[in-house]
Chain A
C-alpha cells in the first residue's frame, strides 16, 4: 500500500544532547521515486485513495520503557514546471447526435451547444478555463454543470478495469441561459483532491471533464474531453 523509507538517525547507545538538529536531506530527491513507487506497487480494483505523506519517528527504548512513536502528515506542493507546456485548445460540440448511451434518439429535443477548452493539458495550480455557447435549444435548459472526474484504468492479465470517481462538480450555468452568449468555463482544481495525470505500462490515472446538461427533467451527461 505504501512506501516506507526507513532511515536510522541514531545508532544505539549513542547519546545526543538537547539542541542538536537533524537536517532531513532526503525528502526532495526521494519524492519522484515515492510517487512512481506508489503507482507501481498499489493495485486496487476500486480506486486509489489520495496520496499522502507522513513522517513517522520511532524511538526504541531499553527494556521496561515503552517505545515512543509520533506521526506527522505533511503536504507536498510541487513547484510549477519550468518548461512551458503549449496550450492545446480543444473545441467540442454537443447535439443529440453526439450523445452516447441513448436508446431512443428520436424522442430527444433538438439542441446545439458549442464550446472550447483552452487547454487539455492543465497546470494543476491554474484553473481550467474555456467557454461554452448554447446556440439553440428547443426546451429550456435547467442547468449546465461541469464535473471533474478521475479515471483510473488498470491493465492485468484478464484485460483492463476502469473506474471513474467524481472529484468536483460545479455549476456554470443556471436556468435558461441566453442563447448565443458565451458562458465562461472556470474551475479551480481542488488542491487536495487532484493529482497529475500519470501513465504507466499497466496503470493510468487521468482526469476527465464531464459536462452535464439538465434539460427540463432529464439528464444528458456527456463526456467531453480528457485532461
Chain B
C-alpha cells in the first residue's frame, strides 16, 4: 500500500542503527499505489514540512478550543513537548507527512474512499510498537492526520446542509437535510466495517463530532461505547494512547461529558497490572528497553487523560482519584501523572501527603526522582502551607541528593531550586548550591548539564535581587565556576549583569559585590577575542559600563581612583569601557574641585594631577581617533579647571599632534563616511578652548594656536574641499577674542593671556600678523575658485568670511571695510547667494548701525548692494 515503501525504509534504518530489530513489522499491504519518484529529497530541504503544516492548522484548532475554557492547556502545546521529548527520527515525520500529502490529494480529488483508506492505514501504524521509544511521537504525528480527517468530514457534511443558508453554530438534528444525514450515516457504516479494531476506534473517534448531524444523544452514547471497546486492545501502551486520543477528541467535541473521561481513567487503572505482565516484558527484552524508560512513555498519555479529568473538576473528585491511586499501592507512574495533571494548588496543599505516597512507592520501575521532579514542578507554581515547607524541602532533598546519575540529579535539582528560592533564605539556597556543586563536579558532569545549571542561575536571579545577599552566598561563585565553556559562561555572566543593572538602584562600595562583579565582568571581558563580533563587544561593554557606573566610594576619592586603575587593567580590551573609565576619572577630578570649592589643598591638587595622569596614559590606548581627540580636549579642560596648567598643556599638545593621524574617511555604523565634518567640529571646539589657555612660558606667543594652524595647513584635506579655509575663517573670531582687553570667558583661578600680556602691543601685533596671514590665505583660495564650476563655493566662502569680518572685525578700518564690501560683492556676483539671508544680514547691519559706537556701519551698509537674481 501507499506507505509501505517509506515505512520499510524507516524500519531498516532503525535496524541497522540499533541492531536489535527483526524484520519489518509494518502492517500488511493490501493495494499498491505509485509513490512519487523521490519524495524524500524534495521534502528534506527547507523547513520541516510538518511544522509548517502544524502552524497552519494551529489557528483553526484554536477556535474550537475556546469552548473548552481558556484555562485548559491545549493539546497543541503538549504536542511540541512530546515531539521534542521523544525525539523522533526525521523519517518518521516524513512518513506521516507523506501520508498526509497523499491523504489531502485524495480528498481534494474527491476520492473519499481512498482518503479513508489512507487514514485507516495511518492509524494501523499505531498498533505497531516496534521502536517503542518513539511511540508517543508517532501518536502525535498520526493523530494530527486523524484530526484533519475528522475536520474535513465534518466540514463536508456541514456544507451539504448549508444550502440555502449556512447552519447556525448551535444547530439541531432537525436542521440537517436528509442527504447529509445519509452521507454521514454512510461514513459511520463504512467505519463500522473496518476489520481491525484499532483503526476502527481511531477513525470513529476522529469523526465523533459528526454524530451531531444524526441525533442529539449520539456523542453521549458513542463515547462510553468507544471507551469500552478500547478494552479490547491488548497492548497497554497502545490502549493508553487510544484513550488519550478519545479523551482529547471528547473534551473538544463535548466538554460537558465528563463521565466517559472518568470511565477511561478507571479502565486504565484496571489494566495497570498488564504493564508488568509477561507480554510487555518479553517485548522490552527484544527491544532492549529498560522498564523505567518504558514507563515514562506512558506519562504523556496518562497526564493528558488526568488533565482532562482534572480540568475544573470539583475537589472531591480529585481526592477520590488520589484515593484510588493509593489503593493501587501508590503506583509510581500514576502518581507522577496525578501530580503533573492536577492543579498545582491542589498538589501543593497536600504536598506532605504526596511525599508520603512517593515514599511508599515501589522503587523498581519508576525512578523516585522523577516523582519528586513532578512534585517540585507543582510546588514551583503554588505554595504549600507555610508550616510544612521546610519539611517538604528536607524530605525532597533527601531523595534528590541520593540520585546517582548526574543527569537525573540535575534535572530534578533544577526544579527544586525554584521552590527553595521562593520560600527560603540564602542559607538554604547556599546549601542547595553546595549540593549541586558536589554532584556535578566529579568527572566534569557539569559539561552535559549547562542548560539546567543556567536555569538554576536564572531562577536564583529571579528571586534574589539584592546582590549583597546573593554574593554573600559562599557557593555562588564556585557555582559559576562550573560554567567552563566560554560561550555559556559569558551568557550566564551576561544574565547576571542584566539583572544587576536592572535591580541595583543604589551606588555601592560593598567589597563583596565589587569583588564578585569584577570577577564576573572579567569573565565577560576575557571572552573577547579577535573573532568576537563588534555587536557582541558593544553589548558586553555596555554591561560592564553599567557596573562601573554603579560603583561609588563616596568621599573616598582615592579609592575610587584605584578602583579605576584596577578596572583599566582588567578591561583593557574593551574600548568603550576605557572611555567610560576616563570619563569617570574626569568626573572624579571635577567632584574633588566641587568639594574643595575650587581651592585645592596640596593633597587634593596632587590627587587631581593623578587623575590627569590617569587619563593621559589611558587615552593613547584607544584606537578610535575621535575618541582620543575628544578625550584629550575634555581632559585638558578638566585639568585646566583644576589649575593643572602643564597637564592641560600636555593634553592639548597631544591632541594637536594626533591631528595629522585623522583619516580622511572613517567607518560609521559600517559605512565609510568622510571625516571632514567631525574634524571641523573638533577644531572649532578646540579653538574655543584655546582662548583660555595661557601661553606656555618657555614657548613663543600663541604657541598652541600656531601649532594647530600648522597642523591644519599640513593636513591632507580632501581635494576640492574648502575645509581648510573654513578652519582659517573660524580661527579669526578666536584671534579677535584674544585681542580684547577682557576675555569673554575665563576659568576661575587660571590666568589667561589677557592677564599674562595685559594688552601688550607686541602680543596684539602678533595676533594681527596671524590674522592677516589667514585672511590672505582665504583670499588666495577665493581666487582659485574663480572658475565657472566653483563659483557657488566661492560665493559661500566669501560670504562666510564677510560674516566673520562683520561680526569680529573693526570696520572703522577702511581697508577692512573695503575688503568686506568686496567680499559681499564677490558672494553676490554670480547670484548664488540666498537672497533671504542677504536681506536679513542687511537689516541686521542697519539695526547695528543705530547703536552709538557702531555708526560707521552706516557707510558700509550703503555700499552693500543687493543684486536681484535676474
Contacts and interface: CB of A to CB of B under 8 A. Distances in A.
Interface of A: 127, 140-141, 144, 168-178, 181-184, 186-188, 190-191
B274 interface: yes
10 contacts: A140-B279, A172-B197, A173-B234, A174-B198, A175-B279, A176-B234, A177-B232, A183-B228, A183-B231, A188-B193
A176 B277 CA distance: 10
Contacts of A176: 234-235, 274, 277, 279
B229 A186 contact: yes
A142 to B, nearest CB: 8
Interface of B: 127, 189, 192-198, 200, 225, 228-229, 231-236, 238, 267, 270-271, 273-274, 277-279
A169 B200 CA distance: 13
Q: From DSSP, what is the main secondary structure of chain B's interface residues? A: helix
| Nearest 7 pairs of A and B residues by beta carbon | A175-B234, A173-B232, A188-B192, A176-B234, A171-B197, A178-B271, A176-B279
Contacts of B193: 168, 170, 188, 190
Given A183-B231, A191-B189, A173 B197 contact: yes
Contact of B233 (A177, A184, A186): A177
B198 to A, nearest CB: 6
A178 B235 CA distance: 9
Contacts of A175: 127, 233-235, 238, 279
A172 B232 CA distance: 6
B234 A181 contact: no
B231 A184 contact: yes
A182 B227 CA distance: 12
Nearest to A132: B232
A144 B273 CA distance: 21
B232 A184 contact: yes
B225 A177 contact: no
Nearest to A141: B234
A76 to B, nearest CB: 16
A177 B189 CA distance: 26
Given A171-B200, A188-B189, 13 more contacts: A140-B279, A141-B234, A170-B194, A173-B232, A174-B196, A175-B233, A175-B235, A175-B238, A175-B279, A176-B235, A178-B231, A181-B271, A188-B193
Given A183-B231, A190-B189, A178 B195 contact: no
Contacts of A186: 225, 229
Contacts of B238: 175
A141 B278 CA distance: 12
Best-surrounded residue of A127, A140, A175, A177 (most CB of chain B within 10 A): A175
B200 A170 contact: yes
A183 B200 contact: no
Contact of A171 (B195, B235, B236, B278): B195
Contacts of A178: 231, 234, 236, 270-271, 273-274
Contacts of B234: 140-141, 173-178
B279 A181 contact: no
B197 A140 contact: no
Contacts of A183: 228-229, 231-232
Contacts of B229: 172, 183-184, 186
Contacts of B196: 171, 174
Nearest to B197: A171
A184 to B, nearest CB: 4
B850 to A, nearest CB: 111
A46 B279 CA distance: 43
A141 B198 CA distance: 16
B278 A181 contact: no
A23 to B, nearest CB: 22
Contacts of B197: 170-174
Contacts of B278: 140
Contacts of B273: 178
A176 B278 CA distance: 10
A182 B231 contact: yes
A65 B195 CA distance: 52
Contacts of A187: 192
A172 B127 CA distance: 14
B650 to A, nearest CB: 92
A174 B232 CA distance: 6
A191 B189 CA distance: 8
A177 B280 CA distance: 11
B780 to A, nearest CB: 105
A176 B237 CA distance: 12
A184 B195 contact: no
A107 B233 CA distance: 27
B189 A181 contact: no
A100 to B, nearest CB: 25
B187 to A, nearest CB: 12
Contacts of A144: 232
B443 to A, nearest CB: 43
Nearest to A144: B232
A170 to B, nearest CB: 6
A190 B189 CA distance: 7
A178 B234 CA distance: 6
A186 B225 CA distance: 9
A208 B229 CA distance: 22
Contact of A170 (B189, B195, B279): B195
